[in-house]
Amino acid sequence: MNAVQQPTRPPRTPRAAQIAAAARDLLEERGRNELTMRALAERLAIRAPSLYKHFRNKEAVEAALVEDGLAEMGAALHAALSKASTPDRIPVLLAAYRRHALAHPGLYRLATTGPLPRKALPDGLEEWAGSPFFLATEDSHLAQALWSYAHGMVVLELDGRYPDGSDLTRTWQAGARVFAAPGST
Q: For residue 21, what pLDDT is reported?
A: 98
Q: For residue 1, what pLDDT is reported?
A: 45
Q: For residue 184, what pLDDT is reported?
A: 60
Q: Can you tell me whether residue 56 is helix, strand or coil? A: coil
Angle, to 10 degrees, between the axis of helix 140-158 and the axis of helix 89-103? 40
Q: Cα 140 to chain center, whole Å?
A: 19
Q: For residue 5, what pLDDT is reported?
A: 80
Residues of the chain predicted below pLDDT 50: 1
Q: Which amino acid is at 101?
A: A
57 in the Ramachandran plot: left (φ > 0), alpha (ψ -120 to 50) or beta? beta
What global pTM score does this model have?
0.93
Nearest CA-CA partner of 181 in 91, 62, 83:
91
Distance between CA 171 and CA 168 in Å, rounded? 5
Distance between CA 59 and CA 84 in Å, rounded? 37
Contacts 24+ apart (CB under 8 A), 19-22: 19/44, 19/51, 19/54, 19/55, 19/61, 20/61, 20/64, 20/65, 20/68
Nearest CA-CA partner of 62 in 20, 91, 30, 90:
20
Distance between CA 154 and CA 98 in Å, rounded? 6
Mean pLDDT (the chain) is 95
